[in-house]
Amino acid sequence: MEQSLVLVKPDGVQRGLIGEVITRLENRGLRLVAARFMWVNTELAEKHYAVHAGKPFYAPLITFITSSPVMAMVWEGPDAIAAIRQTFGKTRGTEADPGTLRHDFALQARYNIVHASDSPETAAFEIALWFKPEEIVSWQRDIEKWIYE
């Protein structure tokens, strides 16, 4: 079983897409195990995006992610990281496959609605950064037995 951090970023929140994101992940069969609606301060933003420090889009990205509340979540399931990234599509909306969230709702790289962890190592780092262990809820959806073994 894998976990991934998922953020509905300021553009997704402002456009009223929190429900759309949650519905797509629930429909996929994944399980929500943590959630917090919150403002992101600069310190958290810089830690979260430390891997992008120095890139041309870094400063505007920090400004963007702190510009409006975000919906921070942890989702769980078999191959959750790949499943979520497939559901969301490529970073840039114009490169995302038809039917993916970013294809359906986004055009550019910064205004791309959501963030999702890109590897198990990144997921472990990001989940520990955004949530305390006691905020992760351990449970099962009864319908899971009809979605995966």
The DSSP call for residue 137 is P
What tokens appear for 79 in the block? Answer: 């191959």
Residues 21, 33, 35, 61: which binds ligand CMP (CB under 6 A)? 61
Is residue 44 involved in binding ligand CMP (CB under 6 A)?
Answer: no
- Choice between 128 and 147, CB closer to ligand CMP: 128
Q: Minimum distance between the CB of residue 116 and ligand CMP, rounded to whole angstroms?
A: 6
Pick the catalytic residue: 48, 52, 103, 115?
A: 115
Is residue 68 involved in binding ligand CMP (CB under 6 A)?
Answer: no
Does residue 115 carry a catalytic annotation?
yes
Q: Minimum distance between the CB of residue 109 and ligand CMP, rounded to whole angstroms?
A: 4
Binding characters for ligand CMP, 88-127, by CB under 6 A (x = yes): ---x-----------------xx-x--x------------
Strand extents, DSSP E, 15-146: 31-38, 70-77, 114-116
Is residue 57 involved in binding ligand CMP (CB under 6 A)?
Answer: yes
Helix (H) or strand (E) holding 133: none
Closest to 38 measured CA to CA, from 148, 107, 131, 100? 131
Closest to 88 measured CA to CA, from 67, 117, 59? 117
Cα–Cα distance for residue pair 67/131, rounded to 1 Å? 21
Partnered with residue 121 across adjacent β-strands are none
Positions touching ligand CMP (CB under 6 A) are: 52, 57, 61, 91, 109-110, 112, 115
